[in-house]
Amino acid sequence: MNSRLSNATIATLPAGTELPRYDRRAVRPGIVHLGVGAFHRAHQAAYVDACLANGEMDWGIIGVSLRSADTRDALAPQDGLYTLAIRDSAGEQLQIVGSILSLLVAPEDPAAVLAALTDPGIRIVTLTITEKAYLRAADGTLDQAHPDIAHDLANPSAPKTAHGFLAEALARRRATGTPPFTVLCCDNLPANGATLHRLLIEFAKLRDARVGGSELARHIAENVAFPSSMVDRIVPASTDADRARVAATLGVEDAWPVMTEPFCQWVIEDRFPAGRLAWEKFGVTMVEDVRPFEDMKLRLLNGAHSGIAYLGLLSGHATVDRAFADPAIRQFVDRLWAEAIPTLPQDAGLDTSAYTAELAERFSNTALAHRTAQIANDGSQKLPQRIVASALARLEEGLLPEHLSLVVAAWIAACAARGSTLPRGHFADPLDAALDDLFSRSPATAETATAVFDLAGFAKGHPERQRLIEFVATHLVHLKQGGSKLAFAALGIGGKTKPVE
């Protein structure tokens, strides 16, 4: 099969394939997106595609990869088109998404990225760059010692980081009298808009200090909107088998189709001084405060996902659906939710019963084959908001975080298992070098738990930190002595049910 998905071949696709319902030649860019990965293409780009079909033709996307050229190399020959394969146990629906108009690779041509960001037609900049790319130190502030931050401060016209690109673009727009764009973070960070706002002001202050001023930091603080948002859609990594199946159905090749589930959610704080799309017409929830929705998603969906990933890996399960079908893990997740739910806002009208029932159905989706190793990546960056925050909240209320703390212990045990019971490099973490050094010394279990908390900055300065470490250390003993089976048994899972306090 030599034919490739593109503007020239889209008319040849078989009936039943959902095609863009607009003239792509008439679309003008209004959004620059930093981090054009699979999640963006399954989520924000799909919502924008629906808005374009509704006639909002000045909101096309310019995609920017901050590191790799892989996405550009895959999609540029396809005119930015790609297949969104929406899968559940009943089958698969293929949709061709056309909202990405062009793709740039920042390391190759930072000037082109800055030119896009300073275009007056760009009114929103969205980001899905993953937690680690925000370059936070252990205490949550900007990691001023990071070499890329140092590079961007010394080379403002050729930045490497999201902070560097945003700061330079906003400075140039200010200098030319162009109104600032709105910055919309779509990553799983707590209060993600406020967090990015704070980090970017820290970066701008460092820039200002080099020239003896304060203009840029003040401009960002007073004039740039950073609404927070909550995003939710399960997007497993595409495989060669996925590409072959999609090509066989379409009759043309797609170098990088995206696999996803039917469920999709986006909750956004409605602060867009430069204008926005009518997202609410297509299921997006526009709110005053996203925090209750964000907390529910982080602590119930993402927290459970992390638990399933690490305990699944330790139990020999390669995918979420297989792990969730394990009776012990299924019972554990119910207990995890029972611990986390009381830590959520009780006056926000959250329907946690309906939400967890829906999550159970999503985790059981056998068509997705969402790999536990994929979810396991970057645990040191993800666990603070997914698990540690809930555990500390329980301890503050005099409640026990027995199941929450097991997730932290399972992450440590899974990291230590790479190269022995798990393949070396099976998943990755920014702390891998430091963790490998720690594990090579074979410290006592309590010392291991404390050292990992120190490395990751978990619960730093919190009065309940030591108690949480003790819970994690106890679980680590069980995991070392008898694996996940003993750890579950110690919680009464697999036998007599132990009540949750």
The string of pLDDT tens digits covering residues 412-426 is: 999 999 999 999 999
Return d(Cα 333, Cα 68) in angstroms, integer. 36
Residue 414 is predicted with a pLDDT of 98
Residue 212, token pair as written in the block: 């003896």
Is residue 434 within 8 A of residue 454, CB to CB? The reply is no
CATH superfamily of 10-287: NAD(P)-binding Rossmann-like Domain (3.40.50.720)
Tell me if domain 10-287 and domain 291-490 are identical in fold. Answer: no
- Taken in order 346, 348, 351, 356, is the CA torsion positive or negative? negative
The string of pLDDT tens digits covering residues 1-17 is: 579 999 999 999 999 99
pLDDT above 50 for 499: no
Which 3 state secondary structure label does DSSP give 411? helix
- What's the rounded mean pLDDT across residues 193-206? 98
DSSP state of 185: E
Q: Which run of H or E residues covers position 182?
A: strand 182-185
Of 3.40.50.1100, 1.10.1040.10, 2.40.50.180, 3.40.605.10, the CATH number of 291-490 is 1.10.1040.10
DSSP state of 43: T
Q: What is the DSSP string of 360-374?
A: HHHHT-TTT--BHHH
Cβ neighbours, 10 Å, residue 379: 28
Residue 219, token pair as written in the block: 């401009």
Q: What is the DSSP string of 380-405?
A: HHHHIIIIIHHHHHHHHTT---HHHH
Tell me which amino acid residue 255 is. Answer: A
pLDDT above 70 for 398: yes
Beta bridge partners of 384: none
Contacts of 269 (CB under 8 A, 6+ apart): 193, 227, 228, 229, 286, 287, 288, 289, 290
Query: In whole numbers, what is the pLDDT of the chain averaged over residues?
Result: 96
The string of pLDDT tens digits covering residues 303-343 is: 999 999 999 999 999 999 999 999 999 999 999 999 999 99
What are the CA-CA distances from residue 395 to residues 276, 306, 386, 459, 469 (Å)? Answer: 42, 20, 16, 12, 12
Query: Structural domain boundaries of the chain?
Result: 10-287, 291-490
The string of pLDDT tens digits covering residues 233-289 is: 999 999 999 999 999 999 999 999 999 999 999 999 999 999 999 999 999 999 999
HEC-encoded secondary structure of 238-284: CCHHHHHHHHHHHCCECCCCEEECCCCEEEEECCCCCCCCCHHHHCC
Return d(Cα 455, Cα 234) in angstroms, integer. 29
Residue 86, token pair as written in the block: 């929406």
- Taken in order 149, 154, 157, 158, is the CA torsion positive or negative? negative
Phi, psi of 285 (to 5 degrees): -95, 115
Return d(Cα 409, Cα 395) in angstroms, integer. 17
Phi, psi of 186 (to 5 degrees): -120, 25
Q: Which run of H or E residues covers position 94?
A: strand 91-97
- Quickly tell me which residue has 């297989």 as its tokens: 322
Residue 401, token pair as written in the block: 């975080």
Report CA Rg, the chain: 23
Residues of the chain above pLDDT 90, percent: 94
The string of pLDDT tens digits covering residues 159-169 is: 999 999 999 99
- What's the rounded mean pLDDT across residues 213-220? 93
The string of pLDDT tens digits covering residues 124-178 is: 999 999 999 999 998 889 999 999 999 999 999 999 999 999 999 999 999 999 9
